[in-house]
Amino acid sequence: MERNPKILIITYYWPPAGGIAVKRWLSLANEFAQARAEVHVLTLEPNSAEYSSIDEDLLSTVDERIHIHRVRAWNPFRLTKRFFQKYIPPQGFSSNNGGDEAVNLLTRLRSHLFIPDPRKTWNARAIKKAVEIIDAHSIEAMITTSPPHSVQLIGRKVAKKRPIRWIADFRDPWTDIFYYDQLGHSVLSNAIDKSLELKVLSDADAITTVSWGFKDLFARKVPRRDPNDICVIPNGIDRALSTWKSEKAGEVFRMVYTGMLTDLYEIEPFLQAIKVYNSRMEMPQIEFDFFGSVSNAYRSMLEEEFEFIQFHGNRPMQEIPQIQDSADGLFLVGPKDYNAGHIPGKLFEYLGAARPIFYLGDFASDVSRILNETRTGTLFDRNRTDDHLAVLHEQMNKAQQRKEGLQREDLLTDYLRSNQARAFLEIIRGAAQK
């Protein structure tokens, strides 16, 4: 039997940070520990980090066998807040729509002074600490996960200082992220950023990413690299699979969406199809419940136009599984201009809920691939809105006739976190053989 390696995970996001950025490596680190690997995590002191959300409850979910190491960092976001007396988007000012000159200025400064991103200010201390951890604990493998992509530069420096197996994990693209063009790079800063990206993609012993679309993207950037060194390990299911309610739909079909909603998602054509369907007094009638954050203006517009919508605001993370399990169907959508390889983390929450998924997106997407593979959802093509009503009618007829469970656990095997952890361990061992 092969011995499990000693692993160092370097990540910016770790509890008490909340949100989707934490889930992947919190879950995998716990699975590594349960598989009796020695797991070390290098991250930031919370008071020197900038998190978009805080979830103190996540601290109690960290396996007690995991060794946590923290370092401090200078936080440039606090300086900008002090001068501008306003909240600056922590994701690097990418959410600005161009209407705020102060934020536009900071965006340009960000792209010129902080390459690849403003979170690089912990890199020097992280590199020093990582080397200390490797030496003290005889660490054999190191995983760096991004964004922020400055974390990958930590891994590259450490790998040059110590003979260690380095896996670079990408949850999102680097210079091809959907908002990259909004960051105001100069020709020089753009060239530097792309050069850093290529160095990481070339030097890492293995690359992992969350979708097949992203794998193809990275493979095109480093064509001389063996494509087998770039592995797809999607985000996964973090909980025991729910049991589908055996009864068929009644007079009301309750569709649920959990998460953030903005006008970038362009859901109105789908809602119009529901409106027409309900107006014909079809059975079951569809009710749409939103749980999460939505701008006041967008909410008012939707409520005025679509009377079957109810907004319930944000709910604590621990309540979300129960909300999803109580639904008759789950709605999934991503912004229109996302890369086809973008897979919302919400998809895997939905898979665990074992409810029919109604996906508004593109046929040529990795989300569609997973839904078809697992037989868990229906696609509403955002480019063929005239078809939405017919597809919706077909699915409601199926809901009326449903008599048996929807979910087949055997089709979800690859997306269970325990199996994904084993796949990562195989990648680590494969990197050791190079």
Q: Which residue has the tokens 């361990």?
A: 425
Residue 7: strand pairing partners? 39, 141
Q: Quote the pLDDT of residue 357.
A: 93
Q: Quote the pLDDT of residue 249.
A: 58
pLDDT band of residue 114 (cuts 50, 70, 90) is confident
Nearest to 169 by CA among 59, 301, 42, 24: 24
Phi, psi of 272 (to 5 degrees): -65, -40
> Residue 187 pLDDT > 90, yes or no?
no
pLDDT in tens, 189-205: 889 999 999 999 999 99
CB burial of residue 143 (10 Å; 0-12, 13-18, 19+):
buried
Helices H / strands E in the chain, number of each: 14, 13
Structure tokens at 3: 């011995």
Note the maximum CA span of the chain.
Answer: 70
- The fraction of the chain above a pLDDT of 90, given in percent, is 50
Q: Quote the pLDDT of residue 97.
A: 45
Phi, psi of 62 (to 5 degrees): -75, 125
205-220 burial, b if ≥16 CB within 10 A, otherwise e?
bbbbbbbbbbbebbbe
Q: How far is CA 333 from the centre of its chain?
A: 13
Q: Quote the pLDDT of residue 211.
A: 92
Q: Report, in angstroms and rounded to the nearest whole number, the Rg of the chain calculated over CA atoms.
A: 23
> Residue 411 pLDDT > 90, yes or no?
no
pLDDT in tens, 294-333: 888 889 999 999 999 999 988 877 788 899 989 999 999 8
Task: Sketch out the chain's domains with CATH numbers.
Answer: 6-74+113-236+416-432 (3.40.50.2000), 252-412 (3.40.50.2000)
**Residue 382 or residue 96, greater confidence:** 382
Least confident window among 255-269, 281-295, 329-343, 416-430 = 329-343
Q: Quote the pLDDT of residue 4.
A: 73
The listed range with the strongest mean pLDDT (81-90, 241-250, 311-320) is 311-320
> Residue 158 pLDDT > 50, yes or no?
yes
